[in-house]
Amino acid sequence: MHFQWYPGHMTKAKRMMQENIKLIDLVIELVDARIPMSSRNPDIDELGKNKARMVLLNKADLAEDKWNDAWAEYFKGQGYSVVKVNSKKGGGLKSIQNVIQEACKEKMERDRKRGILNRPVRAMVVGIPNVGKSTFINSLAGKAAAKTGNKPGVTKGKQWIRLNKQVELLDTPGILWPKFEDQAVGLRLALIGSIKDEILQTEELAAEAITFMNTYYSGVLEEKYALESSADPYVVLERIAQSRHCLLKGSGLDTEKAAMLMLDDFRSGRLGRLTLEYPAEGEK
Ligand code: GDP
């Protein structure tokens, strides 16, 4: 398995997180906009209690915008500040600083009452692997002034990125491990390519993706690959292989190659913007 959490790996990530979280005022939690529930780990609620909290719907460019809005409302309803972002292209990053300020208002007010002035708000980015943490930090850092460097009183080696006079961001993200004990969650994580494919065989996973497309985005595959529809996902896979000339040496269709091709299109937005789960389910 490409993606695996060895117990030692997990323990280390958790220890780092516990140590770093003491230094910060605000938790910036990245989730994948296509699966905002399945790409979270609820442990962050315990780790991040007493902190200001923000949820970023990252990869918003790959998810349907009406569902991005519905998810934003959902998380706002739970008391989080929310922003839709595309870290790769920089979309949504501009409004982030204001929202950070807003999310930390209480803390700044508390500081002011205690006579503490000009202590910057400190933030940390957290999320599961591949959700876009590094991309997000890099795009923000690219826009921000240079890194502030080590500071006395702060654990050595920690770098803070100064976003403005009031906000500093820890340059190393906190890694959360996904919770994929639940089969539906594991499947969704595999579909977006967040856990690498061995949860299911490539063709089985592609069949799941095809069934999902047939159910929620009917007609899209037919148009994209110029094929006749079928309710049987394995028949659709063969037709994709035919239409894309995925052929085995000698003779026969290379459905494994077709499966990879289809999953790649599915994950990278070439089948359109796709949302795999909806807020109402999250409330179950
Ligand atoms: P990390 O493991 O959480 O640090 O994730 P990375 O920053 O390495 O990103 C994982 C992949 O997602 C990379 O291929 C990024 O280019 C891609 N990515 C990150 N943010 C976005 C986004 O907002 N939109 C899209 N389309 N891709 C993104």
Does some domain include residue 240?
yes
Taking CA atoms only, the protein residue closest to ligand 1 atom 10 is: 130
Taking CA atoms only, the protein residue closest to ligand 1 atom 16 is: 88
Asked if 154 and 226 sit in the same domain, the reply is no
What is the best residue among 17, 28, 88, 140 to mutate for testing ligand 1's pocket, by most ligand atoms within 8 Å of CB? 88
CA of 134 to the centre of ligand 1 (A): 7
Q: What is the mean pLDDT of residues 167-180?
A: 88
Quote ipTM for the complex. Answer: 0.99
Last residue of a domain, one of 141, 175, 209: 175
- The answer to whether 164 is a known ligand-binding residue is no
**Span 254-283, pLDDT tens digits:** 999 999 999 999 999 999 999 999 998 544
- The answer to whether 172 is a known ligand-binding residue is no
Instruction: Give the predicted TM-score (pTM) of the model.
Output: 0.90
What is the best residue among 93, 135, 176 to mutate for testing ligand 1's pocket, by most ligand atoms within 8 Å of CB? 135
Q: Which of 5-14, 163-172, 177-186 is least confident?
A: 5-14
Asked if 35 and 141 sit in the same domain, the reply is yes
Write out the residue range of the structural domain in which residue 277 sits. 200-282
**Span 23-38, pLDDT tens digits:** 999 999 999 999 999 9
The tokens for 12 are 């280390």
Asked if 165 and 204 sit in the same domain, the reply is no
pLDDT of residue 147: 47
The answer on pLDDT for 102 being more than 60 is yes
What is the best residue among 85, 124, 130 to mutate for testing ligand 1's pocket, by most ligand atoms within 8 Å of CB? 130
Asked if 222 and 171 sit in the same domain, the reply is no
- The answer to whether 134 is a known ligand-binding residue is yes
Asked if 83 and 145 sit in the same domain, the reply is yes
pLDDT of residue 281: 56
Asked if 40 and 89 sit in the same domain, the reply is yes
Taking CA atoms only, the protein residue closest to ligand 1 atom 12 is: 132
How far, in Å, CA of 97 to CA of 107, rounded? 15
Asked if 158 and 219 sit in the same domain, the reply is no
Q: Which of 5-9, 97-101, 167-171, 225-229 is least confident?
A: 5-9
pLDDT bucket at 199, cuts 50 / 70 / 90? low
**Span 213-232, pLDDT tens digits:** 999 999 999 999 999 999 99
CA of 49 to the centre of ligand 1 (A): 27
pLDDT bucket at 1, cuts 50 / 70 / 90? very low
Q: What is the mean pLDDT of residues 186-207?
A: 87
- The answer to whether 135 is a known ligand-binding residue is yes
CATH of the domain at 161: 3.40.50.300
**Span 244-253, pLDDT tens digits:** 999 999 889 9
The tokens for 185 are 């969650």
* Percent share of the chain, pLDDT over 70: 90
pLDDT of residue 272: 98
CA of 240 to the centre of ligand 1 (A): 27
- The answer to whether 232 is a known ligand-binding residue is no
Asked if 92 and 162 sit in the same domain, the reply is yes
The answer on pLDDT for 105 being more than 80 is yes
CA of 93 to the centre of ligand 1 (A): 14
Q: Which residues line ligand 1 (CB under 6 A)?
A: 58-59, 61-62, 86-88, 127, 129-135
pLDDT of residue 4: 56
Give the Å distances, CA to CA, from 117 to 61, 74, 111, 149.
Answer: 39, 34, 7, 21
Last residue of a domain, one of 117, 140, 175: 175
pLDDT of residue 127: 95
Sign of the C-alpha dihedral computed for residues 91, 3, 17 and 68 taken in this order: positive
Number of domains observed in the structure of the chain: 2
pLDDT of residue 151: 47
**Span 51-61, pLDDT tens digits:** 999 999 999 99
- The answer to whether 147 is a known ligand-binding residue is no
pLDDT bucket at 73, cuts 50 / 70 / 90? very high
